[in-house]
Structure 1
Amino acid sequence: MKPFLTASDYKTIHTLILNLPPQLKGKEVIQLQHEIKSAEIVPDGQLSPDIIQINSYFEVLDLETQRLMKFQVVLPHQADLKQSKISILSPLGVAMIGFRQGMTVEWTLPGGRKRLQINQVDNPIRSTQI
């Protein structure tokens, strides 16, 4: 399963990673680098609106616990867990970016290996489908 990214999201994430100080380049950053290298890059405005992008709102179901979680994936300086805004550099942000509503993603999070079903994706600006 490879993620889909818009050209601008790819550039934003790539630049973010390049500009991070070495002491902040932990496990999640390495995983994110791998994810964006394997991603299919799509011209801006041509990505399906049901794919998680930067600034997307999404709802995910933990298939083991049946816990439903709602978040928005944002850039690190905008992250605020009290407002359910998670950083693209967080374990869940890395796991979800580029994947589509209806997909099940398996990923290691701080609580262990999780199977997460993406139930809903909402993007502030709708685009045409790929």
Structure 2
Amino acid sequence: MSINKIPLTKNGAEKLREELHKLKSVDRSKIISAIAEARAHGDLKENAEYHAAREEQSFIEARISELEQNLAQAQIIDINQLKQDDRVVFGVTVNLINIETEDEVSYQIVGDLEADIKENKISVNSPIARALIGKKIGDEVQVQAPSRVISYEITMVDYK
């Protein structure tokens, strides 16, 4: 059985490690204390605090397990170690101009676990990232959006 590697930027892996550390060292001990306090209130059958704390404990333990599994399968890519030849590769930040509207956008291409459009981080598996990979500054790319094809020109590739 082969294990599929999960691509992560160095920063993305560090954020996952920080979350895991907080869950294990802070959140886990808080919930254990909350369960003990709720248990002291008596009858567990009708103790809403106890049941809520146990449910939260379940969520925390599931997230710890998920993070441990993801980090174990991670292929951490340090973009500073990549050949910097103005080509779009995993981890870079790309500036684009919409050829039709002249709107500018900037995206960092990251792994699925790190993708967050609010932070302009898009998954390497997204249609726009797939269209960009391997292209270089000055290239025009066509991206299939839900309603139409959008043409972009790559204006910058940043390896930081």
- Shorter-chain TM-score: what band? 0.5 to 0.7
Q: Secondary structure at the match of 1:93?
A: helix
Partners of 1:109 and 1:90 lie apart in 2 by 11
The number of residues matched between the two structures is 83
- Segments of 5+ residues of structure 2 without an aligned counterpart are 7-80
Pick 1 or 2: higher relative contact order, CA cutoff 8 A, min separation 6.
1
Alignment of 1:1-130 (within 5 A): 45-46=82-83, 48=85, 50-124=86-160
- Segments of 5+ residues of structure 1 without an aligned counterpart are 1-13, 17-43, 125-130
Tell me the TM-score normalised to structure 1 length. Answer: 0.57
Runs of 4+ in 1 over 3 A off after TM superposition: 44-47
Change (3 A) 1:84 1:46: closer
Give the drift of 1:46.
Answer: 4.2
* Equivalent pair of 1:57/1:72 in contact (CA under 8 Å): yes
Residue by residue over 1:102-123, the C-alpha shift from the partner in whole angstroms, topping out at 9 and shown as x without a partner, is 1111231224111110011101
Write 1 or 2 for the structure with the bigger share of helix.
Answer: 2
1:90 partner amino acid? S
Partners of 2:93 and 2:145 lie apart in 1 by 19
How well do the aligned residues superpose, as a CA RMSD in angstroms? 1.9
Residue by residue over 1:28-54, the C-alpha shift from the partner in whole angstroms, topping out at 9 and shown as x without a partner, is xxxxxxxxxxxxxxxx84451x11111
Percent identity among equivalent residues?
27
Residue by residue over 1:39-70, the C-alpha shift from the partner in whole angstroms, topping out at 9 and shown as x without a partner, is xxxxx84451x111111001001101111101
Change (3 A) 1:83 1:123: same
Partners of 2:147 and 2:106 lie apart in 1 by 17
Partners of 1:95 and 1:109 lie apart in 2 by 11
2:88 partner amino acid? I
Residue by residue over 1:54-94, the C-alpha shift from the partner in whole angstroms, topping out at 9 and shown as x without a partner, is 11001001101111101100010010111100001111111
Partners of 2:157 and 2:116 lie apart in 1 by 19
